[in-house]
């Protein structure tokens, strides 16, 4: 026998015959995971939409509250002038002036709180819209005319 007459041939086959349902279970788990991810994404979109809407209406509310505080402050200042005239005439005491000044101070504090809240809400809305925090808003209505919301 010579070395040239030696041949070797081999064939190896690995085939999974049965995996006891592991593939079907994994496929089912992946499908359920995909559905959960889609639902989670939709829920996140709804939460962001709600937050934007809430922020917009908070801005509208705070603007009206600020307008009311300005009117209240003007009214109290008029009242203070009236009380000072009455004091000059001698019909009231300085206690009336002091109480009016305290009321004015309280309204000014409330006004400052509203202004701070308004600035924070505007900044939040700007961040939702992907704009600079100090940017002003102009809303366009659907009928192509410009309407200013005065978010400055």
Would you say residue 39 lies in a domain?
no
| Total of domains in the chain | 1
Would you say residue 21 lies in a domain?
no
* Tokens read off for 27: 């496929």
The residue-averaged pLDDT of 75-81 equals 97
Q: Are 87 and 97 in contact (CB under 8 A)?
A: yes
**Rounded CA separation 70/118 (Å):** 14
Model pLDDT for residues 127-148, shown as the tens digit of each residue: 998 888 777 766 555 555 554 4
| pTM, two decimal places | 0.70
Would you say residue 135 lies in a domain?
yes
Model pLDDT for residues 8-52, shown as the tens digit of each residue: 888 888 888 888 888 889 999 999 999 999 999 999 999 999 999
Q: Where are the beta strands (DSSP E) in the chain?
A: 139-140, 146-147
3-state secondary structure (DSSP) of residue 148: coil
Domain that holds residue 115: 58-147
Tell me the percentage of the chain whose pLDDT exceeds 70: 88
Predicted confidence at residue 15, as pLDDT, reads: 85
């Amino acid at each position: 026998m010579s070395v040239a007459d030696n041949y070797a041939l081999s064939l190896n086959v690995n085939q999974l015959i049965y995996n006891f349902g592991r593939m079907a279970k994994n496929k089912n788990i992946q499908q359920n995971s995909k559905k959960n991810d889609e639902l989670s994404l939709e829920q996140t979109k709804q939460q962001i939409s709600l937050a934007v809407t809430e922020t917009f209406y908070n801005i509208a509310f705070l603007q009206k509250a600020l307008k009311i505080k300005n009117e209240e402050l003007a009214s109290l200042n008029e009242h203070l002038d009236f009380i000072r005239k009455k004091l000059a005439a001698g019909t009231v005491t300085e206690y009336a002036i002091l109480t009016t000044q305290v009321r004015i101070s309280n309204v000014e504090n409330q006004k400052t709180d509203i202004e701070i809240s308004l600035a924070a809400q505007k900044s939040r809305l700007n961040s939702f819209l992907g704009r600079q925090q100090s940017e002003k808003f102009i809303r366009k209505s659907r009928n192509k005319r410009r309407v200013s919301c005065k978010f400055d």
